[in-house]
Chains A and B, each alone.
Chain A
């Protein structure tokens, strides 16, 4: 296939969904896609069939929850402050902690994927992201009592 079109996504022009406040404003993107960089690989236990049945019922995509992400310094009432970017925590399971930070990408990144429902090779830009959450350290072990429960 010598020539492949990449369409600009319509969602790029959709204004931010104000009800989706799970991420700090800075990390929010119109289609809700963000970048997380890990100096680690997350291994999940083999999938259990029950899992899939459960999620099918509540309409979410089949997935395995592996941890918890938090921004300990983020205060939604002062969204313009940037000090919170220095600290992001990701607990994996109950015994491992990744410490990271939010970094501005040197160059914005386009997330490109094959267009939904398209049979041809047409690609589309699903999102343009400008920040990423980076966990550049290896995981640290933590005790049961420290890790928050899911």
Chain B
């Protein structure tokens, strides 16, 4: 048969396009019934100097996943052509018009940065004392827009750290601050004869307590959300988390096992005490010494110092950068 010929034209006005390579799971998302809005996030430039662990790159985010973006130059020229009528000798004809040329493509790869670590760097540590509030700190909105990770991952870490916002600044409470607040919550619930597991679904209880104790309402709400952080296992989640709080609020890196167990049990309502076993906290503790309890490396929301030191030591190029 006679093959069709298509006039090939170059548009005078070149459009600006970016070519984005799609991993299979992203392709599936975008071609689904309800494709999501993606986000490109990059770290704000004014933060670059302060950050030690985050490189200044751009990431592409779905609701719950983050991809690192890498720009790859192409040696050939890639034309984006549009099927459009092209003028020929005898009037308009179906043809192809190159409307853009792309010198590079964007490749996506799995995100290698630690969302928790990045978030922690943007939060102000709050030890429960009103006077430590500084002028530093960013709003929750700013952090979500500037932290190079998906909103889902940030929300997850935000809840895990009991982060809260007061007056456009975001804080992460220290373990001691949580410990004191928890004691107040526990006492108030007992005084009212209420089950803590039931109280967790009652924001008004926490609001009232915040007022009585002179604590930020957002802080107690963050604790309430931490209790229901994982669906279903409220008592187990909270019991395990309180072990982290006890460990985190002790000054050393390890704690005598008897002291630890006593403080942990003190925090729990009678019904929960049977849950508080060493097995429960195995995932984040080092129990190799039978007389003590210590953090497993970079295990928790509070074990900040060791994990940070370990990660910055491994990044030799950043040490070079500092030395320059």
Residues of A whose CB lies within 8 Å of any CB of B are: 2-8, 12, 20-23, 28, 32-42, 44, 47, 52, 54-55, 58, 60-75, 90, 107-114, 123, 125-126, 128, 132, 134, 136, 148-150
Contact = CB atoms under 8 A, between A and B. Distances in A.
A108 B83 contact: no
Given A4-B40, A75-B1, A150-B7, A112 B18 contact: yes
A58 B86 CA distance: 10
B96 A34 contact: yes
A112 B104 CA distance: 13
A130 to B, nearest CB: 9
B35 interface: yes
Contact of B76 (A7, A33, A38, A61): A38
B111 interface: no
Interface in B10-33: 10-13, 15-24, 27, 30-31
A110 B20 contact: yes
A60 B98 CA distance: 13
B38 interface: yes
A110 B30 contact: yes
B97 interface: yes
A90 B96 CA distance: 12
Contact of A150 (B16, B30, B77, B89): B89
Given A20-B83, A22-B6, A111 B19 contact: yes
Given A34-B81, A60-B86, 7 more contacts: A5-B39, A35-B79, A36-B78, A63-B10, A69-B7, A111-B17, A149-B89
Contacts of A125: 20, 30
Contacts of A126: 17
A33 B82 contact: yes
Contacts of A34: 80-83, 96
Contacts of A113: 15-18
B176 interface: no
A44 B97 CA distance: 14
- Nearest 10 A/B pairs, CB to CB: A8-B35, A22-B94, A32-B83, A3-B145, A63-B9, A6-B38, A110-B20, A62-B12, A36-B79, A4-B40
B5 A68 contact: yes
B92 A60 contact: yes
A60 B19 contact: no
A110 B36 CA distance: 14
A8 B32 CA distance: 11
B135 interface: no
B42 interface: yes
A60 B87 contact: yes
B216 to A, nearest CB: 27
16 contacts: A3-B146, A8-B38, A36-B79, A39-B75, A39-B76, A62-B11, A74-B3, A74-B4, A107-B24, A108-B21, A108-B22, A109-B22, A110-B30, A111-B18, A125-B30, A136-B76
Given A4-B39, A32-B83, A125-B30, A69 B76 contact: no
Nearest to A124: B37
Q: Interface centre among B6, B8, B43, by most A CB within 10 Å?
A: B8
Nearest to A87: B3
Nearest to A19: B94
B203 interface: no
B108 to A, nearest CB: 9
Contact of B7 (A8, A41, A65): A65
Q: Which of A2, A4, A37, A71 has the most CB of B within 10 A?
A: A2
Contact of B22 (A20, A74, A110): A110
Given A22-B94, A52-B12, A114-B16, A109 B40 contact: no
Given A2-B145, A8-B35, A12-B31, A67 B8 contact: yes
A64 B82 contact: no
Nearest to A121: B40
A22 to B, nearest CB: 4
Given A37-B77, A109-B19, A125-B30, A69 B96 contact: yes
B164 to A, nearest CB: 22
B27 A108 contact: yes
B39 A35 contact: no
Contacts of B99: 33, 61
B82 A32 contact: yes
Contact of A5 (B10, B38, B74): B38
